[in-house]
Structure 1
Amino acid sequence: MKLTVVGTGYVGLVSGACFADLGNQVICVDIDEAKIEGLKNGVMPIYEPGLKEIVERNHEQGNLKFTTSIEQGVQESDIIFIAVGTPSAEDGGADLSAVEAVAQKIATNLNDDKIVINKSTVPVGTGDWVEEYIAKHKTTEHDFTVVSCPEFLREGSAVSDTMEPDRIVIGSNDQQAAETLDQLHQDFGAPIIHTDRYSAEVIKYAANAFLATKISFINEIANICELTGANVEEVARGIGTDHRISDKFLRAGVGFGGACFPKDTKAIVKTAQEYGYDFKVVNSVVEVNKLQKKSLVTKLKQILPDLAGRTIALLGLAFKPNTDDMREAPSRTVVKQLLEAGAEVKAYDPIAMEEAQEIFGDDIEYATDAYDALKDSDAALLVTEWNEFQELDLLRVKNLLQQPILIDGRNCYQPAEMKEEGFIYHSVGRPAVTKEDLLAFEEIAATGE
């Protein structure tokens, strides 16, 4: 099939590349000229495992083209995906200005009957709005159909999520369009769920809000565990084996970030408000997450009350491993707190250093690797669970730090191991290792009692 995907972010570029890899003719459109030129030359605008190889292969074979011309994309395709960003507006709702800009271009370039697919995450009713907008502004008598087909990609595993999805949701009020999209998606081998357009639009927000709720819930449980002496990992294991709950998204940490959960939780709360409903549960999820992002520095201040003039090593800047995305990343909150407390920050991330420099500029120091960040620092904060941070040489870490203080926001290490290695160690929802614990441990080791 002939497809155009407007927008070359995570959703658009990955979707376009994967559809091309299945034999479709795909045009990827973006208004950013530098990004398009880069893609033509094999330069990826995002870091995503496996994406570069698929893009280069299909571009060379002619299945995947890149252009800044939306007009070309509309006129040379039968199916047009809208996959542009819908960031949070000031009121918490979704900013649909980019969607409107695409709809305007589609309206003025219809040269045949088209299927228009909202792939972007948009509030319920957006399909109606896009349909009305194109109908009002179109300059020919050609027909079109608007369909909702939300994405469910996870950054860091977007390619595999696209090629091996749990399900495909097609929200359409047009049977013929739905059958065409069935054919387009048949090679993915996933269950196809047919709904009306409204339901498809809500499904995306509902899924992300529920997953975010699980994260904030287990973080709240972790906070209770810290107060009571329980271990959140044991609690998560105990409840996660219940098949009604499952163990997915029950790992306590320093909060969620990225392009989806923060904006989508706020957006569904805003939509509920517009319809006169107070979505209390998800409102609380948002508030809990804000507080959780501040927990690492709070724990650090319990050990070092005065951070002025201290150098703090930050391990991890991206909101999760296998991506360079720092949108709403916990590291941003952590850096702000540390700088406000007068500390100096020395940070390292395997992938997100360039992105970090765009955000923090000269406010922080950028290390060449994890050990460079740790050298002569007064304490270390582990923010992102990259594999290399979970496999550090702990003896070397201890020798590099001015004081053996490690605050682990992702529970990458075990408290017993850290006590044995001589660290003052705080994690999330598990017993801390204090200076007093270390002294007692050393005394027992010395006496053998």
Structure 2
Amino acid sequence: MQLSIVGSGYVGTTIAACFAEVGHDVVNVDIDEDIVATLNDGDAPIHEPGLDDLVAEHAGDRLRATTDYGAVRDTDATFLALPTPSEDDGHIDLSIMKAGARSLGAALAEKDGHHLVVTKSTVVPTTTEEVIAPILEEESGKTLGEDVDVGMNPEFLREGSAVEDFLSPDKVVLGSETERAAETLRDVFDPLVARADDPPVVETGVAEAEMIKYANNGFLAAKISLANDIANICKEYGIDSEEVLSAIGLDHRIGSAFLGAGVGWGGSCFPKDVAAIIAAARDVGYDPAMLEAAVEVNDRQPVRLLGRLREHLDPDGARVAVLGLAFKPGTDDVRNSRAIPLVEALLDANADVVGYDPVATENFREKYPEIEYADSAGEALYGADAALVVTDWPAFADLDAEFDAMATPVVVDGRRIVTRREGIVYESLV
């Protein structure tokens, strides 16, 4: 099929390259000329394992990029993969989505035949039908359900494994309101489903598909926060929380995934999505107490980590190494990283902060140019009074002699990845 993807960010670039991989002809539409040029040169504009290879393989063949919205007229379906950032009150900002829908609608005004517009961005229930669809109708002059249809296909991509997640999905969710839209979505995803050994395909309504994404992330965020709450209690009793959580994970009703206790969840999805569905629930008169509690527990974890540090030294004037700046290993994304509240608290306490991350240093430097950055974990630890382990990069598990170069080897581990040994004062968060 001929597909167009509006937006060449994290999701847009990944799904474009993966759709090309399963045999579709794909064009990315983006207003950023540098990103368009990067894609057409065969390079990925973001750091994601496996993505560089796919873009390099398909660029100039089944994958191309352009700034011209007119390219959508030569395609059968368009996926809107545009940012929906959080507003201060938790609601999502739809301004970029609306602008994209207007440009798309104007381009479709000159297209003959049917076209399917699929929301790929994460939006609260009813957004596609009540916000996006009317814009498309107004700008295109076409009738919804006749000349143009809308659909919803939520993404479940984890940063650091997005390519694998797309090509080997746990499930595929296809939201539509007409049989023609449903049939087009099946045609788009049939090659992926066949290649991925027939994962479950959920065909549902558009609003239901929108809600599935929020329910998915809300549940996972709450599961992590509950694991952290249990681990915090274990810590107060001197109980090994890993043994406890590992044991309950053997219960098939619970499962072992997302029971890793630590300094909390961050990134571009969980914080934004949980805040958005909380705000949306309040808008319709419901108090989402469980989700609110999940956020409260998560926000408390960095504070507790700093509290563990204070048990061993006063950060005022101390040189503190922060190991891990990305919100999770395998990505250079620092959005809502747990390092952010820790660095801010350390600066407020007048600490001398030195940060290190294998790939996210430059992104973090844009936010905090005032702190020092090291080129290796060993360099960050050299002469430090304390170290905070924030991101569970596998390389941090191999640190050993590097701790001997610290001025006072106090290690507070927010991810329980460092091995406790003689010669360092080791404190885990949970």
Both proteins in one fold, TM over 0.5:
yes
Quote the sequence identity (%): 44
Q: Secondary structure at the match of 1:39?
A: helix
Does residue 1:133 correspond to 2:160, yes or no?
no
Q: Which residue of 2 aligns with 1:78?
A: 76
Deviations 1:177-225 (CA, angstroms, capped at 9, x unpaired) = 1122112111222221011111111000000000000111111111101
Counterpart AA for 2:221: A
Q: Secondary structure at the match of 1:294?
A: helix
Counterpart AA for 2:429: V
Contact between 1:182 and 1:192, CA under 8 Å: does it hold in 2? no
Q: Secondary structure at the match of 1:286?
A: helix
Q: Structure 1 CA distance, aligned partners of 2:227 and 2:192?
A: 33
Q: Structure 2 CA distance, aligned partners of 1:171 and 1:352?
A: 35
Q: Which residue of 2 aligns with 1:67?
A: 66
Q: Which residue of 2 aligns with 1:311?
A: 319
Q: Which residue of 2 aligns with 1:375?
A: 382
1:76 positional shift: 2.1
1:68 positional shift: 1.6
Counterpart AA for 1:411: R
Q: Which residue of 2 aligns with 1:257?
A: 266
Q: Which residue of 1 aligns with 2:196?
A: none
1:293 positional shift: 2.2
Does residue 1:102 correspond to 2:104, yes or no?
no
Does residue 1:18 correspond to 2:18, yes or no?
yes
Contact between 1:312 and 1:343, CA under 8 Å: does it hold in 2? yes
Report matched runs for 1:171-186 at 5 Å. 171-186=175-190
1:231 positional shift: 1.3
User: How many residues end up aligned between the 2 structures?
Assistant: 419
Q: Secondary structure at the match of 2:368?
A: helix
Deviations 1:38-60 (CA, angstroms, capped at 9, x unpaired) = 22223432110000010011004
Q: Secondary structure at the match of 1:4?
A: strand
1:324 positional shift: 0.3
344, 357, 370: which one pairs with 2:365?
357
Contact between 1:12 and 1:83, CA under 8 Å: does it hold in 2? yes
1:109 positional shift: 1.4
386, 397, 400: which one pairs with 2:393?
386
Q: Structure 2 CA distance, aligned partners of 1:333 and 1:6?
A: 33
Counterpart AA for 1:265: V
Q: Secondary structure at the match of 2:117?
A: strand
Q: Structure 1 CA distance, aligned partners of 2:52 and 2:189?
A: 22
Q: Structure 2 CA distance, aligned partners of 1:230 and 1:241?
A: 19
Report matched runs for 1:244-323 at 5 Å. 244-304=253-313, 306-323=314-331
Q: Which residue of 2 aligns with 1:205?
A: 214
Q: Which residue of 1 aligns with 2:344?
A: 336
Does residue 1:410 correspond to 2:415, yes or no?
yes
91, 100, 125: which one pairs with 2:89?
91
Does residue 1:121 correspond to 2:122, yes or no?
yes
Contact between 1:165 and 1:188, CA under 8 Å: does it hold in 2? no
Counterpart AA for 2:280: T
Q: Secondary structure at the match of 1:169?
A: strand
- Which structure 1 residue ranges, 5 or more long, are not aligned? 430-449
Contact between 2:159 and 2:331, CA under 8 Å: does it hold in 1? yes
Q: In terms of Rg, which structure is larger? A: 1
Does residue 1:168 correspond to 2:172, yes or no?
yes
1:140 positional shift: 5.2
Counterpart AA for 2:44: M
Deviations 1:323-365 (CA, angstroms, capped at 9, x unpaired) = 000000001111101111001111111100110111111x111
Deviations 1:232-283 (CA, angstroms, capped at 9, x unpaired) = 1011111100000001100001010001000000001011001100000001
Q: Structure 1 CA distance, aligned partners of 2:349 and 2:42?
A: 43
Q: Secondary structure at the match of 1:108?
A: helix
Q: Secondary structure at the match of 2:329?
A: coil
- CA pair 412-274 structure 1, distance change in 2 beyond 3 A: same
Q: Secondary structure at the match of 1:293?
A: helix
Deviations 1:141-184 (CA, angstroms, capped at 9, x unpaired) = 67100001100000000000000001100111111211221121
Q: Structure 2 CA distance, aligned partners of 1:40 and 1:295?
A: 47
Q: Which residue of 2 aligns with 1:437?
A: none
Contact between 1:307 and 1:343, CA under 8 Å: does it hold in 2? yes
